[in-house]
Structure 1
Amino acid sequence: MRFVIWLAINALGVGAAVWFFDDISLAGADTRTDKVVTLLIVGLILGVINSVVRPVVNLLSLPLIVLSLGLMLFVTNALMLLLTSKVADTFNLHFHVAGGFWTYVFGSIVISIASMIAAAILPDPK
């Protein structure tokens, strides 16, 4: 049950980023069902990337994170959104981020806020 709630909130975070920014789109998803399925799959892809790739990238960029007083975390979050967009393109999903660097940064901030809300709502499994 926790996984389903986490997936739904992650998909809502991606949906909020699509809604807030014109450069993040679900181009090609015509029906509401297509949009929901695409958001759920992209939320799953983003969750897997954040669980597997992000800790490695954060560990490798730890000196830069310390030197920038944590601002490098925004860049790594933006890179995870970029990677999610590229993986979604390889699976022919309708999720596209067409903007530049700042679109990735602000989109990842919106998705991170949704993830923080999810962490606050979901009970600790311990």
Structure 2
Amino acid sequence: MRLILKWLLSAIALLAVAYLYNGVQVTSFGSALIAAAVIGLLNMVVRPVLVVLTLPVTIVTLGLFLFVINALMFWAASGLFGGFHVNGFGAALLGSLIYSLLGLVIEAALGGLFSKR
């Protein structure tokens, strides 16, 4: 139940990013659902490999390179799916920052909702 709710809320967050920032476009809620799933899969499969491969750069930049990796995952998701479009790397960077902040809010809300007592 938690996974489905997080997926739905992530799709809503993606629609919010598209509403708040013109550099990101989402055509419909169905497209947002698919794009949220693609972003989640990329973050689960590709992101850990990139983090390990770029560890020296991440250490030198004191972790700031992780923002670049997040932007690349966001931008890659837009390239894999047609209903979700990002207007370049700068738009991906800002869009991924907004999406990550909304993701933190979602995690906090779900943590309180599904806390083990």
Q: What TM-score, normalized by structure 2, do the two folds share?
A: 0.88
Shift in Å at residue 96 of structure 1?
A: 0.9
1:58 has 2:75 as partner:
no
Q: Identity of aligned pairs, percent?
A: 33
Aligned residue number for residue 106 of structure 1: 94
Shift in Å at residue 125 of structure 1?
A: 7.9
Aligned residue number for residue 4 of structure 2: 4
CA RMSD of aligned residues (A): 1.7
1:95 has 2:84 as partner:
yes
Aligned residue number for residue 68 of structure 2: 75
Is contact 2:23–2:95 with CA below 8 Å preserved after alignment?
no
Shift in Å at residue 23 of structure 1?
A: 2.1
* Partner secondary structure for residue 122 of structure 1: helix
- The ranges of structure 1 where at least 4 consecutive aligned residues each deviate by more than 4 angstroms after the TM superposition are none
Q: What is the distance in 1 between the residues matched to 2:106 and 2:45?
A: 19
Shift in Å at residue 113 of structure 1?
A: 0.8
* Gap regions ≥5 residues in structure 1: 30-34
Is contact 2:11–2:33 with CA below 8 Å preserved after alignment?
yes
Shift in Å at residue 114 of structure 1?
A: 1.6
1:19 has 2:19 as partner:
yes
* Gap regions ≥5 residues in structure 2: none
Give the counterpart of 2:104 among 116, 119, 123. Answer: 116
Is contact 1:49–1:80 with CA below 8 Å preserved after alignment?
yes
Q: What is the distance in 2 between the residues matched to 1:39 and 1:60?
A: 30
Shift in Å at residue 117 of structure 1?
A: 1.5
Q: What TM-score, normalized by structure 1, do the two folds share?
A: 0.82
Is contact 2:75–2:89 with CA below 8 Å preserved after alignment?
no
* Partner secondary structure for residue 64 of structure 1: helix
